[in-house]
Amino acid sequence: MDPKELFSTNLIDGKIVASHIERQCSPLPSVIVIGAGISGLAAARSLYDASFEVTILESRDRLGGRINTDYSFGCPVDMGASWLHGVCNENPLAPLIRGLGLTLYRTSGDDSILYDHDLESCMLFNTDGHQVPQQIVMDVGETFKRILEETGKVRDEDPDDMSVQQAISVVLNSHPELRQQGLSHEVLQWYICRMEAWFAADADMISLKTWDQEHVLSGGHGLMVEGYDPVIKALAKNLDIRLNHRHACIIYRMT
């Protein structure tokens, strides 16, 4: 299916923005989009479908940004984004994925073997290959919840924003009984890493004020069986994309 039919303002308001003849005969307003991640591609696709002349500058040698589907194992493996969180029309990706006929493996049902939001049920192993006792995993999990609760108090008391990592340090300095040692410390780092994986950022880059302010969409979660690469290719179709174009600065001029 043509991506213009899937991701276009034409479908939203039911109006024809410009005919093919107008696109060829009239001078088109031009726009440069920085970055060929999914946000840049989606913006460029909308502009292109609204009859703008669009050029995308991407510093890497590939499309997708944080989306990177690897095929070296003979099957698609997403090295970055891989889930669709919120399988509903409120999520703009859901109609696009549905229109492309891509398969979702639902991970929010009781019969899913990939459902991992119950962190205490995960089996952890140390660097020697031995399983971490489940009681340690559960106890440290409760401690981590307590630490996060205390970071909320730090947020309420400090008008300035800080990173989650900074807030955790403040909490541990104020409540040394929450510090973990040995294997428990390693498990605590695992909990922090799981948090970092959710936000695709290190804890020292996650905002304390906004980390838990997300709006959770309905519809549950689904894993992209064929990877996100087909979505990227659909959004990028027919667009003028310049790879290996790193921009040093952007100069704004009032006209």
Q: Which residues are annotated as a binding site for FAD?
A: 39
Report the C-alpha gap between 212 and 214 in whole angstroms. Answer: 6
| Other CB atoms within 10 Å distance of the CB of residue 112 | 15
Q: What is the DSSP letter of 241?
A: E
Q: Which two tokens stand for residue 8?
A: 């276009």
Question: What does the longest C-alpha to C-alpha distance in the chain come to?
Answer: 72
Tokens of 27: 């001078």
- Helix H or strand E encompassing 240: strand 240-242
The tokens for 117 are: 């939001």
Tell me the helices (H) and strands (E) count for the chain, helix number first.
Answer: 9, 8
Instruction: Please identify which residue in the block is written with the tokens 């006792």.
Output: 133
CA angle 141, 143, 144 (to 5 degrees): 65
Residue corresponding to tokens 């889930």 = 83
Positive or negative: CA dihedral 23, 38, 5, 215: negative
Sequence ranges of the binding site: 39
Q: Please give the single-letter amino acid code of residue 182.
A: G
